[in-house]
Amino acid sequence: MTQPYGPPAQPSPQQTHSGYLPPTQVYAGPQPGPGYGPPSPPPPPRRTSPNRAVISLAVIATALVGFFGLAKALNWDDKEPETTAAAATEDAAEPAAKDDAAPQRTKAEAAFLAELTKHLEDGERLNENRRLEEGHAICGRGDEDAYEGPPTVDLVIEHQRDAVLYGAAVKHLCPKYLPVWKRAQGGFGEGTHTVGKDIKPGTYRTVSKPVTDCYWERSTGSGDIIANQLVNNAPNGITLTLRAGEGFTAREGCGNWIRVS
C-alpha cells in the first residue's frame, strides 16, 4: 500500500526502541537533511594566543638584563671610563701639539724667518724657534749668549760668518739699527788678508779711537813689505789705503777696520 505524501504519522508514545519511544520523549518529527532548513550558526571565535611581538620584546628585555648583569660582574663598566678618559686626554693634548708646531708669529718675525729660508741649502730645515731666539738676541732682546746686543759696528764685523742672520735680524726685528749694520759692511778684523780676494780695495780706518799698540803691514804679492808701522798711540785712529793684489796684516791692538771709500 502506498503511503501518502507528507510527514509520516506521529508515533505513539507507547513505542519502544524496537519501534516505540519512552513516554517521556516526544518525537519532534523528521529532521531536515543536508541542504534543507536554515544555515548552521557560525562557530564560536577561536581563542588566540598572546601577541607574538609582546612575547618577543619580553624575551629581548630579559636577555639584555642578563647581559648587563654579566658585564657588571666582569667590571666592563670600570674599563670603559678608563678608555674614554685616555681618549679625552689624547684629544686635549692634540691642540697643544698643533700650537707648538704652528705658534703665532708677528709680521716682523714671519718676514725674518722667510728671509732665512731663502738661504737654506737643499734638504736643510730651519729651526724657527732657535733662529728667533738668536735674532732677538742680536737686537738686544733675549738671553742668547752667542749674540750679545744691541748691534754695534764691532759686533756686526765680528759676526760676519753669520752675516745672513745678522742682516735679517736687523732688517726685520730691529730696523732702527740699519745704519749701524750698513756702516759695518765690508769691514774686517785682525789677521792676514789679501786685497781683492778677502777684502775689497779702498781706504779703511780703524773703528776704535784711540788706537794703542797696533802693528799693521802692507806687502806685495811676493811678500815684500811695502809699508808697516807699530802704533803706540793714535787718538784719532789709523787710516790706510789698500790696493788690489796687496797683502795686509793687522795685529791685535788695532781692532776692527771699516771701509770709508
Domain boundaries, the chain: 107-184, 191-259
Rounded to whole angstroms, how far apart are CA atoms 246 and 253?
22
Give per-residue pLDDT as tens, 162-201.
899 999 999 999 999 999 999 999 999 999 999 999 999 9
Rounded to whole angstroms, how far apart are CA atoms 138 and 116?
15
Rounded to whole angstroms, how far apart are CA atoms 256 and 164?
20
Cell 523528521, residue located: 30
Listed residue (101, 117, 106) closest to 139, CA to CA = 106
Q: What does the pLDDT read at residue 249? A: 96
Q: What does the pLDDT read at residue 223? A: 92
Cell 804679492, residue located: 221
Q: What does the pLDDT read at residue 89? A: 47
Q: What does the pLDDT read at residue 67? A: 58
Rounded to whole angstroms, how far apart are CA atoms 148 and 157?
13
- pTM confidence score: 0.57
Q: Where are the alpha helices (DSSP H) in 118-162?
A: 128-138, 153-158
Q: What does the pLDDT read at residue 217? A: 97
Q: What does the pLDDT read at residue 37? A: 55
pLDDT < 50 stretches in the chain: 1, 15-19, 21, 77-99
Chain centroid to CA 183: 43
Give per-residue pLDDT as tens, 77-99.
444 444 444 444 444 444 444 44
Q: What does the pLDDT read at residue 252? A: 83
Q: What does the pLDDT read at residue 165? A: 93
Chain centroid to CA 51: 58
Task: Answer for the pair 221, 247: CB distance below 8 angstroms, yes or no.
Answer: yes
Chain centroid to CA 63: 46
Q: Where are the alpha helices (DSSP H) in 9-122?
A: 52-73, 76-101, 107-117
